[in-house]
Amino acid sequence: MIRILLVLVVLAATAGAVVAYGDPQQLAHAGHTVSGLLHMRSNPSARMVQIPRGQGGEFALQARINGVNAPMVIDTGATSVVLTYETAKAAGLPLELLDYDVDVETAGGHAKAARLTLDRLAIGRLVERSVPALVVPRGQMKTNLLGMSFLDRLESWEVHADRLMLHGYP
């Protein structure tokens, strides 16, 4: 609620400045921005993504990491987003600069991972920036995990029957 009020105050101030300067193009742009935000607020599904349960019981999805497609599996037991070496390389992450000094337990056993920050992680209409993540060395994992470092940023997430619903903040 506070975010919405803050956005409205900033937009009102911007619109007031545009009116004061009398630039019709900027006034029209500000009007479109305000109406777009109001439309998003009136459309609750604008910031919601539904993910069907897979045949193996998992919730798999297609994410975009720094603009690159990356298959992921939701893992609420993972404290962080965890990427395979191959996905991190495809996303253009600076793998040669990383220190593999974080102990992790994977399905294959104990491994070392490196900390990094993803500029942008998008799941459908849900986009988060500066998301903490880990990357494991080549061959340590087969699947990218969407863990709590992303899920904790959402307003809520819930499972209904065979669908996982991710709700972002308006």
Each residue's pLDDT tens digit, 64-111: 999 999 999 999 999 999 999 999 999 999 999 999 999 998 777 888
The Cα-based distances of 75 to 45, 46, 146 in angstroms read 23, 24, 6
Q: pLDDT tens, 20-54?
A: 566 666 655 555 555 555 544 445 556 899 999 99
pLDDT recorded at residue 119 = 96
The CATH T-level fold of domain 47-167 is Cathepsin D, subunit A; domain 1 (2.40.70)
**What is the phi/psi pair of residue 114, to 5°?**
-115, 140
What's the rounded Cα separation, in Å, for the pair 166 and 170?
Answer: 12
Q: What is the pTM of this model?
A: 0.72
- At residue 63, does pLDDT exceed 70? yes
Task: Report whether pLDDT(130) > 80.
Answer: yes
Contact 116, 135 (CB under 8 A): yes
How far is the C-alpha of 22 from the C-alpha of 134, rounded, in Å?
A: 50
C-alpha closest to that of 83 among 43, 92, 159: 92
Domain ranges of the chain: 2-42, 47-167
State how far the alpha carbon of 32 is from the alpha carbons of 21, 38, 91, in Å. 18, 10, 33
Which tokens go with 58? 């998992």
Going by C-beta distance under 8 Å and a sequence separation of 6 or more, which residues neighbour residue 105? Answer: 111
According to DSSP, residue 103 is labeled E
Q: Give the burial string for 124-158 (b: 16+ CB within 10 Å, else e).
A: bebebeebebbbbeeebbebbbbbbbbbeebeebe
